[in-house]
């Protein structure tokens, strides 16, 4: 890792260095969660460009340097972002909404949020959704009959409440299949494989406690799944219900970006440095939601003990009914009474395992929360209920959660667009920074790829989470590498599917084309195993030798 002299875009004299990850922690080793980039101040003979003075012409110049139209001055709205446009008003300001006190739509405020290709919650949004451009566009929520104000950045905002007709309940006997279905659903737009990263490592300048809590919670839940391997076989009951509150689409032109986003773009070095660009991606996302739906996802995974269910004569379907997940999922919005109508005798037999006691009759080993939206303390409430053993988490808790969504919705479905498409055309070195961000997204996926892990034994599935490789074993094997058979009495034919090596570096540009390759040897497919899915060679256009 070598230091490279260079200047920040405006005024600073710094040198950067970056390193790459050779191998992640595995088989009990330490996770690789340290920063890849490093920055030092330095002296250089190079003349660093100074930040140009803002020239707003006939427009109003905010204290921050932002330019706004004169018509936006003294209109009550915080158009500057620092209230400097409302400082020296000679007469009473005239609000675009006149005498009406209209709250900002939470659905609109959430629009355009950042998306990280590896699952992390970005620290900040690139969009200033508190800006209205002097307009008072109102949108009516059909449920509450309240009018809300639409931000300028949001071209389309429609309140359209929909709840899933029924809860989706799927059960898995295979831990790796469950993980792939549950955790990889949000990654379907991307090709990151079984690689997840929830912990930022590049020293973010943004301090947002809520995002840290969200990322920590997702990491803790995932670690519970990875570490809950037992001698007994388990069934995973995956329950989910989705509630949509509204839909949005971001404006295609003249969007208002936040000052912090623009400032952080400005100070990115024009010469590519992996550490600096990775920091930007972890702050704002590799992509953003150009359109989507806003609401919440109620999603839990019940870890069930197969032996206990067999011993007391309970099925997965019985557990599902006793918890109330056979009911209409729109119950929260239709004032329905949760009439369970189930065999109470069977339901009384279903208990949550007390970790401090040996109890062969406890059907539910654990309940894992993947809830998104609503009050942030809901997951804490679930854990407290389980630890106290006071009650199981059931459909009544779903009703309470659904009612809290109006105050804290999230984007639950989106169409992503790369973050580099937001680089303003008139920004200094805009073309270079756009290219660098494109490269950084590709490097980010490559750097945190599961291909750097050692293969598991006996057909185990590799998962890379926060710098550590973990093997998920089939029902017949255990151990950190799936190397130990659970029983010596049964001969189990081991089927090993093929796995890809890491991609090679891109070749030099020949005839307007560059290529890279990978091998199906990590591991190679065994007898009866599935070959690697996807292509072994990838091509892209380039500028170079003809």
> Which residues contact residue 154 at a Cβ distance below 8 angstroms, ignoring those fewer than 6 apart?
108, 111, 112, 129, 248, 249, 250, 251
> Which helix (H) or strand (E) segment is 395 a member of?
helix 395-403
Sign of CA dihedral 48, 37, 184, 371: negative
The number of helix segments (H) and strand segments (E) in the chain equals 11, 22
Residue with tokens 């009050």: 375
Domain boundaries of the chain, sorted by first residue: 4-41, 54-89
Q: What is residue 9's predicted lDDT score, i.e. its pLDDT? A: 46
Per-residue pLDDT of the chain (546 residues; tens, 9 = 90+): 444 545 554 546 778 888 999 999 999 899 998 889 888 887 777 776 676 777 888 999 998 888 999 999 998 899 998 899 988 888 887 888 887 788 888 888 889 999 998 888 888 899 999 999 999 999 998 877 889 999 999 999 998 888 776 678 888 888 878 887 777 665 555 555 688 888 888 876 665 444 444 444 566 667 666 765 556 778 888 888 888 889 999 999 999 999 999 999 998 988 899 999 999 999 999 999 999 998 888 888 888 888 888 888 888 888 887 777 765 555 555 444 444 445 567 777 777 766 555 566 778 887 877 888 887 566 566 656 655 544 555 667 777 778 788 878 888 888 999 999 999 998 989 999 999 999 999 999 999 999 999 999 888 888 898 999 998 888 788 888 988 888 776 666 678 888 889 999 999 998 889 999 999 999 898 888 889 888 999 998 887 654
- What's phi and psi for 3, nearest 5 deg? -75, 145
- What SS3 string covers 249-279? EECCCCCCECHHHHHHHHCCCCCCCHHHHHH
Q: What is the DSSP letter of 526?
A: -
- In whole angstroms, give the CA distance from residue 284 to residue 116: 8
> Which helix (H) or strand (E) segment is 465 a member of?
strand 461-465
Q: Are 323 and 340 in contact (CB under 8 A)?
A: no
Q: How many CA atoms lie within 13 A of 88 on its CB side?
A: 4
Residue with tokens 């189930």: 342
Q: What is residue 215's predicted lDDT score, i.e. its pLDDT? A: 46
Q: What is residue 483's predicted lDDT score, i.e. its pLDDT? A: 87
| Topology (CATH) of 54-89 | Low-density Lipoprotein Receptor (4.10.400)
Looking at the DSSP assignment, which residues form a beta bridge with residue 41?
14
Residue with tokens 């803002």: 54
Question: Between β-strands 461-465 and 364-369, what pairing exists: parallel, antiparallel or unpaired?
Answer: unpaired
Sheet strands (E) in 8-104: 13-18, 25-26, 37-41, 60-61, 67-68
- The CA-based angle 346-350-355, given to 5 degrees, is 165
- In whole angstroms, give the CA distance from residue 39 to residue 532: 40
Closest CA to 410 of 298, 306, 312: 298
- In whole angstroms, give the CA distance from residue 463 to residue 194: 5
| CA gyration radius, the chain | 27
- Determine the 3-state secondary structure of 381 from DSSP: helix
Both structure tokens of 299: 């999603």
């Amino acid at each position: 890792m070598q230091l490279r002299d260079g200047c920040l875009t405006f005024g600073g004299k710094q040198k950067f260095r970056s390193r790459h990850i050779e191998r992640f922690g595995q088989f009990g080793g330490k996770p690789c969660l340290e920063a890849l980039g490093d920055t030092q101040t330095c002296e250089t003979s190079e003349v660093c460009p100074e930040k140009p003075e803002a020239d707003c012409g006939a427009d109003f110049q905010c204290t921050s340097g932002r330019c706004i139209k004169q018509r936006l001055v003294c209109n009550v709205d915080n158009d500057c972002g620092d209230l400097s446009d409302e400082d020296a008003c000679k007469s009473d300001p005239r609000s675009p909404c006149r005498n009406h006190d209209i709250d900002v739509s939470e659905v609109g405020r959430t629009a355009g949020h950042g998306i990280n290709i590896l699952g992390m919650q970005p620290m900040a949004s690139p969009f200033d959704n508190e800006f209205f451009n002097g307009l008072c566009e109102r949108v009516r929520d059909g449920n509450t009959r309240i009018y809300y104000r639409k931000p300028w950045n949001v071209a389309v905002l429609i309140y359209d409440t929909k709840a899933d007709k029924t809860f989706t309940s799927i059960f898995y006997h295979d831990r790796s299949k469950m993980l792939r279905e549950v955790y990889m659903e949000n990654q379907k737009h991307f090709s990151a494989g079984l690689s997840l990263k929830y912990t930022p490592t590049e020293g973010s300048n943004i301090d947002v406690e809520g995002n840290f809590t969200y990322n920590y919670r997702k990491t803790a839940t995932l670690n519970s799944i990875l570490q809950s391997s037992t001698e007994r076989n388990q069934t995973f009951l995956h329950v989910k219900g989705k509630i949509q509150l509204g839909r949005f689409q971001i404006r295609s032109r003249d969007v208002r970006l936040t000052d912090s986003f623009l400032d952080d773009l400005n100070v990115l070095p024009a010469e590519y440095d992996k550490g600096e660009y990775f920091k930007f991606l972890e702050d704002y996302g590799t992509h953003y939601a150009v359109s989507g739906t806003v609401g919440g996802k109620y999603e839990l995974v019940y870890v069930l003990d197969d032996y206990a269910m067999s011993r007391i004569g309970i099925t997965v379907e019985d557990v599902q009914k006793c918890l109330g997940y056979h009911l209409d999922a729109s119950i929260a919005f239709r004032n329905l009474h949760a009439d369970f109508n189930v065999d109470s005798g069977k339901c009384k037999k279903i208990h949550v395992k007390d970790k401090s006691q040996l109890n062969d009759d406890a059907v539910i080993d654990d309940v894992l929360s993947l809830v998104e939206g609503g009050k942030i303390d809901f997951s804490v409430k679930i854990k407290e209920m389980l630890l106290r053993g006071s009650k199981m988490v059931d459909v009544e808790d779903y009703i309470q959660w659904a009612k809290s969504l109006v105050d804290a919705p999230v984007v639950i479905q989106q169409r992503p667009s790369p973050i580099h498409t937001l680089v303003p055309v008139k920004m200094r070195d805009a073309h270079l920074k756009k290219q660098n961000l494109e490269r950084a997204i590709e490097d980010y996926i490559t750097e945190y790829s599961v291909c750097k892990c050692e293969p598991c034994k006996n057909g185990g599935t590799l998962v890379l989470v926060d710098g550590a490789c973990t093997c998920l074993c089939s029902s017949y094997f255990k151990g950190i590498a799936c190397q130990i058979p659970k029983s010596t009495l049964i001969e189990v034919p081991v089927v090993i599917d093929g796995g890809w090596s890491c991609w090679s570096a891109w070749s030099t540009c020949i005839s307007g084309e560059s290529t890279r390759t990978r091998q199906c040897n990590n591991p190679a497919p065994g007898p009866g195993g599935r070959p690697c899915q996807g292509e072994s060679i990838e091509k892209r256009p380039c500028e170079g030798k003809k």
